Amino acid sequence: TRIAWDAAAAEKGGYPHFMLKEIHEQPQVILDTMRGRYTYERGEADLPDIGLTPAQFADVRRFWIVACGTSWHAALVGKYLIEEMVRAPVQVDIGSEFRYRNPLIGPGDLLIAISQSGETADTLAAAREAKRQGARVVCICNVVGSTLARESDGVLYTHAGPEIGVASTKAFTAQLTALYLLALHLGRVRGAVSVEEGRAWLDRFVTLPTHVQHLLGREAELIAIAKRYHTKRNFLYLGRGINYPIALEGALKLKEISYIHAEGYAAGEMKHGPIALIDEDMPVVVLVPRDRLYEKTVSNLMEVKAREAPVIAFVTAGERELGKTADVVFTIPDVHPLLSPILFAVPLQLLAYHIAVLRGTDVDQPRNLAKSVTVE
């Protein structure tokens, strides 16, 4: 009997593409990134390789996060997390912008550099520039011994394992998990989070793998949505607050692998231009968590629907109002709003994947893209 598998197919573990395999590895990746990195009794995250003492973290004057591509979307989520949990201001920059604009960074500042490979040229240059001006640098990275990890003062490794698909999926959720741990660590050492609050955050964090596994079990629903809309040529993704970066990430995933034009927008910005594009041929993906901005996001959704656009609403479980308004509703588990980004990101990854498969593109190696961008 001949088994018609090459080595690459065997590595895919029975999945048709590395990307789908990596999407399905995310519950384990979140678990692995958290494992051994917290002490519940103290309500603390334990980050032994982070490179700064609690006193040094407490003395940080300003926080910066620098990244590129999908890692930049993780950085934007990180800004919300740190500002909310640590009550400290955070500036987020794209690596290629930061390195060329003579940034006002120096002693007393901490730059958090995020890169899956640890070799991203612009992020590496930004970290070097920050160090040259006297700032400390901590990186979130997936590759042990990478240039960024070696040159930073401290490192928080994401335990995602090798990511073969060019479009990042599990590395992104691992970066978000690492940012949750870092935000908790900063909150505790800077006195913004009490022991009891720290334990409450840990109770929430440890539920994430189960919630993601539940979402992966509903892949058939996302295949049905993909079949309905895969022939469309333009998509708009809308989100608010901490899920605005997830709208950006959802749009990036779709354009990367399906070659469909997709834009992510802050929902409140829609009326400042993008609404002119909306018609019955532009599906609009709206992220509608049940949070303090819920009513405003629903209002944006209604504006879209009034212009006859197909609306794909990703909503919190238990949502009753939008079933009659949106064309499609997909529910995510009801969690603390700060934890919702991962739960919105995973179904958006699956939606992009299945649209790309239906369009017959090379999902794992999209045209013109490289896994690690090591050139300017």
Q: For 187-217, what is the HEC assignment?
A: HHHCCCCCHHHHHHHHHHHCCHHHHHHHHHC
Q: Indicate the average pLDDT of the chain.
A: 93
**Residue, of 10 and 192, whose pLDDT is higher:** 192
Place of tokens 């003579």: 102
What token pair was written down for 116? Answer: 């899956």
Report the CATH fold assignment for 18-206: Rossmann fold (3.40.50)
Phi, psi of 310 (to 5 degrees): -65, 130
Where residue 273 falls (left for φ over 0; alpha for ψ -120 to 50; beta otherwise) is: left
- Residues 251-276 have pLDDT tens digits of 999 999 999 999 999 999 988 988 88
What token pair was written down for 75? Answer: 């950085």
Whether the Cβ atoms of residue 163 and residue 170 lie closer than 8 Å to each other: yes
Task: Give the separation between CA 163 and CA 11, rounded to whole angstroms.
Answer: 12
What token pair was written down for 12? Answer: 């895919």
**Counting every residue, how long is the chain?**
376
Global pTM value: 0.94
Residue 320 DSSP SS3? coil
Q: CATH 3.40.50.10490 in the chain, residues? A: 18-206, 213-359
Whether the Cβ atoms of residue 242 and residue 340 lie closer than 8 Å to each other: yes
User: What distances in angstroms separate CA 110 from CA 64, 163, 212, 320, one per listed residue?
Assistant: 6, 28, 32, 44
Phi, psi of 272 (to 5 degrees): -95, 25
Task: Give the separation between CA 372 and CA 7, rounded to whole angstroms.
Answer: 22
Residue 68's nearest CA partner among 125, 145, 132 is 125
Residue 367: CB atoms within 10 A of its CB come to 10
pLDDT of res. 9 = 53
- Residues 3-54 have pLDDT tens digits of 444 555 558 888 999 999 999 999 999 999 999 999 999 999 999 889 899 9
Residue 337: CB atoms within 10 A of its CB come to 18
Whether the Cβ atoms of residue 155 and residue 182 lie closer than 8 Å to each other: no
- Residues 86-125 have pLDDT tens digits of 999 999 999 999 989 889 999 999 999 999 999 999 999 9
Binning pLDDT at 50, 70 and 90, where does residue 294 land? confident
- Report the CATH architecture of 213-359: 3-Layer(aba) Sandwich (3.40)
Residue 311's nearest CA partner among 294, 293, 297 is 297
pLDDT over threshold 90, residue 352: yes
